[in-house]
Amino acid sequence: MKLISSYKEIFGLIFKLTGFHKIFERWLESEISKDPLPNHIAIILDGNRRWAKYRLFRIDKGHFVGAEKAEDLLNWIYELDIKITTVYVLSNENLEREDNELTNIYTLLHGKLCKLRDDSRIHEKQMRIKAIGNLDVLPRDLQKILKVLEEETISYNSMFLNIAVAYSGQKELLDAIKKISFMVLSGRLKVDDINEKIIESFLYTSHLPQPCPDLILRTSGEKRLSGFLLWQAAYSELIFMDIFWPEFKKIDFMKAIRTYQNRVRRFGK
């Protein structure tokens, strides 16, 4: 795996030095502009630790570069005017990792969120920011900045950025079932009235004009959702890329969008 990655880096460097990557990037951008963009893109930011491991770096280096790449992603979203973006930053299961690693992740995330709050484009683009997941288990300072971002952007509805942190798709469904059950027991909802729309109204993504992603992208080569948006992903187009998140580039992002545009979506019909 390390050798293969090295070959990719060599070819990537040649591609970049010759200037072909810029030509290809401009061509891709012109191609994806010909067809409708996905309205809602969800991304599993995977491979930070393995990227560091294969380069003999410390794990925290992988998380640092991955956090920088997430900032790049936000720039691409602005440039391409993607309306809804959901990023999977940290799963509920990830919370079982060593304390030192989690502390590093929390520190990086807090710093990036503080920087995001100061980004004037949030207000210019009218971007609503919301964290989804089991937020109560997060450090207080992280909960605080997430709450501030949500409160300061709650009235915006032109663009949406959802940050899945301490998130579990199974817990999301469990929470929805509990709330619906309570409404039934309290007489505010009849069992026969429960349908897909009712369930969606109790999910973490209920604030979105389109809760279900058109496209779900995962980096690192893993081909599974790992509990990400289990209900919402029913008819999403899935794209798995054999590249670690810290290596992810705008060209890769546009490739994924172009792949999505070339697919025929039937929604089971």
| pTM for the model | 0.89
pLDDT per position as a tens digit, 38-83: 999 999 999 999 999 999 999 999 999 999 999 999 999 999 999 9
pLDDT on residue 7 = 54
Pick the catalytic residue: 48, 60, 92, 94? Answer: 94
Cα–Cα distance, 10 to 238 (Å, whole number) = 28
Element (H, E) at 236: none
The whole-number pLDDT of residue 159 equals 97
Task: Give residue 8's pLDDT.
Answer: 57
What pLDDT is attached to residue 23?
A: 77
Q: Strand pairing partners for 43?
A: 87, 217
pLDDT (0 to 100) of residue 29 = 80
Q: What share of the chain is helix, strand, coil (3-state, %, to 5)?
A: 55, 15, 35
Task: Say what the pLDDT of residue 171 is.
Answer: 96
| Residue 51 in tokens | 């990227």
Annotated catalytic, 46?
A: yes
In this predicted structure, what is the pLDDT of residue 16? 56
Q: What is the pLDDT of residues 117-150, one digit of tens each?
A: 999 999 999 999 999 999 999 999 999 999 999 9
Q: Which pLDDT score, from 0 to 100, does residue 28 have?
A: 80
Three-state DSSP state, 160: strand
48, 62 Cβ separation under 8 angstroms: yes
Bridging pattern class, strands 159-167 and 237-240: unpaired
The active-site residue, picked from 46, 92, 162, 214, is: 46
Task: Please state the domain extents for the chain.
Answer: 37-261
> Residue ranges of the chain with pLDDT lower than 50?
1-5
CATH superfamily of 37-261: Decaprenyl diphosphate synthase-like (3.40.1180.10)
